[in-house]
């Protein structure tokens, strides 16, 4: 087992108790805890270097700008982007996909065009395309899910033709940990001239990602799911697409010139970063990436596979408990959704919290997927670099306690 328990000392919140019990934080798929290295980097920026970026000729602005752009370089390097200019800072994964939907979709979609998504998608890769479809007259179509919770591409030859202009797919499901067949979809999509938009919110924090090897045209992800702060994420896009694409937001900083009736845009990536950006958050994003690089993303992945294998084995011994997701820990992420008898997920999560165990309960912003599964909600335990087996043991003990509380036979 890859044991990363020494990292826990970097996360102050993990030292606390909840309801008199040690905190077992098992909700990292929703948002991760922050190490002191990230907190210190942001604090140092605010204390010693802060000023607005790109706009000042004075020393503080120069320092702040350098820190902001250094973060861009580090994040771009993390996903092996060919150039940091292809890395746009946004508010997060959702905002990144909206940038593509509005900036590319409004100009390139019309009546008779199709947008191909999958039923496993997070709302962030469904709702923006629904809005754009209403504006443009394009049609939404979906790939189904097979019995092993995988995206079913057996019908791809039937649905993927020249009418499809966009393929949207998650690289890793936030509900079941299912790993999306991104490369296969990308290769097929490009054969018919479609672009591929990848929701990387779960995959980028948990696995080695190379955007070139993915074959995608756009990849969206957020800092807060990978040890960084909230309010910032990134959109990587192919240079030629970013240069042709319209900005989804207009205002200061993203322009070269503004006249009364027309404006010209700044070069990428500034073209897409209207207004004062989240400067300290970008610095925190860069620090989070540096932290993960020091751990090693191959080690992060190995650690999570170990934890997932252990958790699936333990959960399998609990009567009346159903796990949703691929059975092979090597072929999935570390987000495990489950139900226990007929106990509602919210009630179950409340009992687990009384035992110090933090899990997510609900539809996980994936209602179409929940309807496909035929259930209203699940509880979900999810892991990250700071998770240890003892927390999984605490979850198992809390689930046995829940069976007693709800008198499950």
Sign of CA dihedral 338, 340, 345, 351: negative
Residue 318, token pair as written in the block: 């609990």
Say how far apart CA 89 and CA 101 lie, in whole Å. 16
Say how far apart CA 355 and CA 18 lie, in whole Å. 8
Q: Could you say which of 39, 192, 274, 365 is catalytic? A: 365
DSSP annotation of 362: E
User: What region does 325 belong to: left with phi over 0, alpha with psi -120 to 50, or beta?
Assistant: left
Q: Is 365 a catalytic residue?
A: yes
> In whole angstroms, what separates CA 375 from the centre of its chain?
23
Of the candidates 182, 286, 195, the residue with the CA atom closest to the CA atom of residue 234: 286
Say how far apart CA 174 and CA 163 lie, in whole Å. 29
* C-beta separation of 18 from 356 below 8 A: yes
Largest Cα separation within the chain, whole Å, is 73
Three-state DSSP class for 48? helix
User: Cα torsion for 47, 289, 84, 185, to the nearest 10°?
Assistant: -150
For residue 220, list its beta bridge partners: 199, 235
For the residues of 358-374, what is the DSSP string, one character each? E-EEE-TT-HHHHHHHT
Residue 128, token pair as written in the block: 């923006």
Say how far apart CA 77 and CA 80 lie, in whole Å. 5
Enzyme catalytic residues = 365
């Amino acid at each position: 087992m890859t044991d990363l328990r020494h990292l826990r000392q970097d996360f102050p919140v993990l030292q606390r108790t909840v309801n008199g019990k040690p905190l077992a934080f098992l909700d990292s798929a929703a948002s991760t805890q922050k190490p002191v290295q990230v907190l210190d980097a942001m604090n140092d920026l605010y204390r010693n270097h802060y000023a607005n970026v790109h706009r000042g000729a004075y020393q503080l602005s120069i320092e702040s700008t350098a820190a902001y752009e250094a973060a861009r370089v580090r994040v771009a390097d993390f996903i092996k982007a060919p150039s940091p200019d292809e890395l746009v800072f946004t508010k997060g994964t959702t905002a990144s996909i909206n940038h593509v939907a509005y900036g590319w979709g409004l100009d390139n979609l019309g009546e008779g065009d199709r947008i191909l998504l999958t039923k496993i998608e997070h709302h962030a890769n469904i709702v923006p395309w629904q809005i754009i479809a209403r504006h443009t007259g394009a049609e939404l179509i979906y790939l189904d899910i097979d019995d092993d919770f995988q995206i079913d591409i057996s019908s791809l030859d039937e649905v993927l033709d020249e009418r499809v202009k966009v393929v949207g797919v998650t690289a890793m499901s936030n509900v079941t940990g299912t790993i999306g067949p991104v490369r296969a979809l990308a290769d097929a999509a490009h054969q018919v001239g479609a672009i591929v938009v990848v929701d990387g919110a779960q995959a980028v924090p948990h696995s080695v990602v190379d955007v070139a090897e993915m074959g995608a045209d756009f990849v969206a992800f957020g800092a807060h799911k990978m040890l960084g702060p909230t309010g910032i994420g990134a959109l990587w896009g192919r240079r030629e697409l970013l240069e042709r694409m319209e900005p989804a937001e207009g205002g200061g900083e993203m322009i070269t010139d503004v006249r009364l009736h027309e404006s010209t845009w700044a070069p990428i990536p500034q073209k897409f970063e209207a207004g004062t950006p989240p400067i300290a958050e970008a610095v925190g994003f860069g620090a989070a990436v540096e932290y993960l690089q020091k751990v090693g993303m191959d080690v992060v992945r190995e650690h999570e596979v170990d934890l997932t294998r252990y958790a699936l084995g333990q959960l399998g011994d609990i009567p009346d408990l159903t796990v949703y997701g691929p059975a092979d820990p090597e072929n999935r992420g570390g987000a495990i959704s489950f139900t226990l008898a007929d106990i509602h997920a919210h009630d179950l999560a409340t009992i687990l919290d009384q035992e110090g165990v933090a899990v997510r309960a609900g539809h996980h912003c994936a209602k179409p997927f929940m309807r496909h599964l035929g259930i209203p909600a699940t509880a979900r335990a999810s892991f990250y670099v700071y998770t240890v087996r003892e927390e999984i043991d605490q979850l198992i003990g809390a689930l046995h306690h829940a069976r007693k509380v709800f008198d499950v036979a």
